[in-house]
A and B are shown apart, each in its own frame.
Chain A
Amino acid sequence: MKLALTVNGGAVQVDIPPSTLLSDLLRETLCLTGTHIGCDTSQCGACVVHVNGRSVKSCTVLAVALEGADVLSIEGLAATQPAAELHPMQTAFHENHGLQCGFCTPGMIMSAVELATLNPALTEDQVRAGLEGNLCRCTGYQNIVASVLAGAAAMHTATQEV
């Protein structure tokens, strides 16, 4: 089936089988392998991307349902910031040791960016509840929560400065 949508700011036109998942479209068709597959059951959250600004588990979305949609994956996140090498949330994960093996990190960051966007005054409890759908096996979450709080604060500051 023919499909036209926007991925990381660029127009994409593809012809794909109707069973193609968004995660397959990104990973296999478009070679954007930063979106990871860690489970079969939409539990791990390693595949989280944004569709029209909201986080979705891309392993559970049929690509053909996204005609005209605006998709943002981890590879496109930094470019949403003017002249910055990294998005403030990516910087916060780096500075707070919010990652180890890195496999859950892209999904974790995409979920965190949505949380911080929807709620400019995030609390620790809200972060913990908000990341329920993202599993990490290495860190024990402490540094991830610290990263998200720091990243959210940095995003908010950046917005106010603009």
Chain B
Amino acid sequence: MVNPTGIGASLLRREDKRFLTGRGNYVADLKRPGLTFGVFVRSPHAHAWLRGIDASAALAIPGVIAALTGADLVADDVGGMPVGWGIHGKDGLPMKEPPHPAMAHDKVRHVGDAVAFVVAETIELARLAAEALVVEYEILPAVVGVLEAVRPDAPQLFDDVPGNLCCDWEMGDKAATDAAFQGAVHIARISLVNNRLIGNPMEPRAAVAEYERSTDRTTLWTTSQFPHVVRLLMGNFVLKIPQHKLRVVAPDVGGGFGVKQFHYAEEAVLTWAARRLGRPIKWVADRSEGFVSDAQGRDHVSEAELALDETGKFLGLRVSTLANMGGYLSTFAPNIPTNLYAPLLGGVYTTPAIYCEVKVVFTNTVPVDAYRGAGRPEATFLLERLVDVAASDLGMDRIEIRRRNMIPKEAFPYQTPVVVMYDSGDPMGCMDRALEVADWAGFPARKAESVKRGQLRGIGISTYVEACGLAPSRLAIQMGARGGLYESATVRVHPTGHVTVLIGTHSHGQGHETTFAQIVSEKLGVPAENVDVVFGDTDRVQFGMGTYGSRSLVVGGSALSMAANKVILKGRKIAAHQLEAALEDIVFENGRFSVTGTDRGRAFEEICLSAYVPADYPLETLEPGLEEQAFYDP
């Protein structure tokens, strides 16, 4: 029987209606009794000593409640912003991890670095107060490019980070790669700038923080892709609030693209200030503020060489990259141009020797972190440009050079020289199909037709290997992750057979409320409309790592599937008890638990009701209730 709302069914999105009618619930829409409004005062200088802040004129404005500074954070013993990955350099030593205060107190290191947070009864008064704040800077020479930052005479951002070098990192076998280049007939070379970009989700970042004195609980509503991780990082490392006293909610979020998957200083400052002042506070970034405070993407400068033999076979690949971290390390920053970059340099090719070194560099710019693909597109762009250059150098066809170097289908599983093993694949089959559907062969005719109309036409090709869901926790922690990369899901079956899913991923456009309901529908045989999917609230959902790196369906969906399997097992136990049959004789098919080979059985809904109104359960071996949780590690 085909399930009309199961996996593979083409459903209209269940989350659409509230968005279509203007009834979404975004952080900026939130109103709280006694709400105050906060504005960050940010440095207009890329690099400067902070010599003093005079808040007297700002505080004299009626309705202005507070002007808090980095010095107040220090006085309250608020910790710096934590980093979720720690990498090691060629010398085996850990990366330099200089302090990242939530607001600067001695020095500003990029334009947009926050120096104060003013709070007032209205947003207009808060803006007025921010303008009235007098900040004295002693401007220092700044360095904004990676090439300049590593020069011996470059301005230094941190006293204990010589040469602005966070880490001199490497992956691959240098000696083997050098040897491969010794035997090369041709070496293709490329110098590449992968420019910095700003993610810009349509919804600017925002937060509301509130402290409830009666329960000593604090709530932060924030535009986040991973509220549980914000609770853990902020509660445990920055503000030292016990996890059970801290609730983090990420309601409807207007796009993420990576920009909202970090624990931001603003979240900690708002939460700290709301507790300190005893009033709820709202902060909404405007677009201009996002440009200087959202973590940005890419910003690599690379040199790469590809060694080839006379037939165009790749013998070795050597990559040297300078990666810009900006003025501080953002949550995942050091991992992006290293572990999420070099392992992708194998691409779909049989290159036997690869060596990649990455200098991870501080500059006086807005911090850089994961953005859409994060490291992997940078690697792919470099590799595929280099392959095109090699083809051009040798006068070879772009397709032919790729074909000669692709991993043949029969060679899988394939171990690359850069850590990762591909379990399966058929790159040549994929490329042939892509050429066919794009009508690659028909391009010359299309181009001739364009020329006739006085227009230009070009065509390009790129292969791409993606690492979705990142890695098993064991491997991630070996590579420097300071936490696991599993996901969790709870399937709560109600007495009526309706289902609530509680899952640790976060939907901000991906359509999880539809997709995850389909998984439950497929597994339990209930219609998708009987399934609610809950996410984004640490008070409701057990725990979760959130949504990033294309992980939600592969990791979260797998956890959900496992939890549903547990529900089925529990249902079989209940059915076995009721039907006086052995567990192994109970099958669950088409929404019915039955004794195999007989017509004796119970509908799913009957078992659900029985689970919550049990009269005769052998409680030592069969507990009431029908709710199961599973954790899946990729």
Task: Give A residues with C-beta under 8 Å from B.
Answer: 17, 19, 27, 31-41, 44, 46, 73-75, 77-78, 86, 90, 93-95, 97, 99-106, 109, 135-138
Q: Is B409 an interface residue (CB 8 A)?
A: no
Least Cβ distance of A102 to chain B in Å?
Answer: 3
Contact B203 A101 (CB under 8 A): yes
Q: Are A94 and B203 in contact (CB under 8 A)?
A: no
A-binding residues in B (CB < 8 A): 12-13, 15-24, 26, 28-29, 31, 124, 200-204, 252-255, 257, 284, 286-288, 508-511
Bound: A1/B620 CA distance, A: 72
Q: Which of A17, A33, A104, A135 lies at the interface centre, i.e. has the most chain B CB atoms within 10 A of its CB?
A: A33
* Pair A101/B21 contact, Cβ less than 8 Å: no
Chain A residues, Cβ within 8 Å of B31: 31
A138 to B507, CA, bound (A): 13
> Cβ of A100 and Cβ of B22 under 8 Å apart?
no
Q: Which residues of B contact A36 (CB under 8 A)?
A: 26, 28, 202-203, 254
A95: chain B residues at CB < 8 Å are 12
Q: Which residues of B contact A32 (CB under 8 A)?
A: 22
Q: Do A97 and B21 have beta carbons less than 8 Å apart?
A: no
Cβ contact within 8 Å between A19 and B124:
yes
Jot down 20 A-B pairs with beta carbons below 8 A, ordered by A.
A27-B29, A34-B23, A36-B203, A36-B254, A90-B20, A90-B21, A93-B20, A97-B12, A100-B510, A101-B252, A101-B253, A101-B255, A101-B508, A101-B509, A102-B24, A103-B24, A105-B20, A137-B255, A137-B257, A138-B509
Closest partner residue, chain B, to A35 (CB atom): B22
Give Cα A101 to B223, complex, Å.
12
Docked Cα-Cα span, A75 to B31, in Å, equals 18
CB-CB < 8 A to A103: which residues of B? Answer: 24, 26, 201-203, 254-255
Q: Judging by beta carbons under 8 Å apart, are A34 and B202 in contact?
A: no
In the complex, what residues of A have CB within 8 A of residue B509's CB? 100-102, 138
A40 engages B286 (CB within 8 Å): yes
Instruction: For A106, list chain B residues within 8 Å (CB).
Output: 19, 22
CB-CB nearest 9 A-B residue pairs: A34-B22, A102-B19, A103-B254, A101-B509, A74-B22, A100-B509, A33-B29, A103-B202, A39-B287
| Residue in contact with A138 in the complex, picked from B18, B24, B252, B255, CB distance below 8 Å | B255
Residues of A within 8 A of B204 (CB): 37-38
The answer to whether B17 and A94 touch across the interface, beta carbons within 8 angstroms, is yes
B20 in contact with A38 (CB, 8 Å) = no
| Most chain B CB inside 10 Å of its own CB: which residue of A32, A74, A75 | A74
Across the interface, do B16 and A94 meet the contact criterion of CB distance under 8 Å? yes
Residue of B nearest to A75 (CB): B22
The docked-state distance in angstroms from the alpha carbon of A120 to that of B607 is: 55
Residues on the A chain within 8 Å of B288, using CB: 40
Residue in B closest to A44 when the chains form the complex, CB atoms: B202
Closest to A104 in B: B202
Q: For residue A77, which residues in chain B have a CB less than 8 angstroms away from its CB? A: 21
Assess the B287–A41 pair: CB atoms within 8 A.
Answer: yes
Contact A97 B13 (CB under 8 A): yes
One of A34, A90, A97 near B24 (C-beta < 8 A): A34
Q: Can you name 12 extra interface pairs (CB under 8 A) apart from A33-B22, A101-B253, A102-B16?
A: A38-B202, A74-B22, A75-B21, A90-B21, A95-B12, A101-B203, A101-B254, A103-B202, A105-B19, A105-B20, A136-B202, A138-B255
Q: How far is A34 from B26 in the complex, measured between Cα atoms in Å?
A: 9
C-alpha spacing A7/B236, complex, angstroms:
47
Chain A minimum-CB-distance residue to B507: A101
CB distance from A158 to the nearest CB of B (A): 17
Residues on A with beta carbons closer than 8 Å to the beta carbon of B253:
101
In angstroms, how far is the closest chain A Cβ from the Cβ of B37?
Answer: 11
* Contact, CB under 8 Å: A137 / B20: no
- Contact call A102/B252, Cβ cutoff below 8 A: yes
Given contacts A38-B287, A40-B287, A75-B22, contact A99 B203 (CB under 8 A): no
| A156 to B301 CA separation, bound complex (whole angstroms) | 54
CB-CB under 8 A from A37, the residues of chain B are 28, 204, 284
Contact at B202–A135, with CB atoms within 8 Å?
yes
B202–A75 touching, CB < 8 Å: no
B371 CB, nearest partner CB in chain A, Å: 12
Instruction: Give the Cβ gap from B168 to chain A, nearest Cβ, in Å.
Output: 36
Q: Which residue of B is nearest A45, CB measured?
A: B202
- Cα A139 to Cα B287 in complex, Å, equals 20
Q: Report chain A residues within 8 Å CB of B29.
A: 27, 33
Whether the Cβ atoms of B203 and A86 lie closer than 8 Å is: no
CA distance A86 to B18 in the complex (A): 11
> Which of A32, A86, A102, A136 has the largest number of chain B CB atoms within 10 A?
A102
Contacts of B511 in A (CB 8 A): 100
Interface centre among B20, B31, B204, B284 (most CB of A within 10 A): B20
Most buried by A among B24, B28, B202, B204: B202
- List residues of chain B with CB within 8 A of the CB of A90: 20-21
CB-CB nearest in chain A for B511: A100
Give the distance to chain B from A135, nearest Cβ to Cβ, in Å: 7
Contact B16–A137 (Cβ < 8 Å): no
Which chain B residues lie closer than 8 Å to A40 at the CB level?
A: 286-288
In Å, the complex CA distance between A111 and B50 comes to 47
- Is the pair A75, B287 in contact by a Cβ cutoff of 8 Å? no
The docked-state distance in angstroms from the alpha carbon of A138 to that of B16 is 14
B254 touches A102 (CB 8 A): yes
- From A99, A100, A136, name the one whose CB has the most chain B CB atoms within 10 angstroms: A100
Tell me which residues across on chain A come within 8 A of B254, comparing CB atoms. 36, 38, 101-104
Q: Please indicate the chain B residues that have their CB under 8 angstroms from the CB of A74 in the complex.
A: 21-22
Given A73, A94, A135, which contacts B22 in the complex, CB threshold below 8 Å? A73
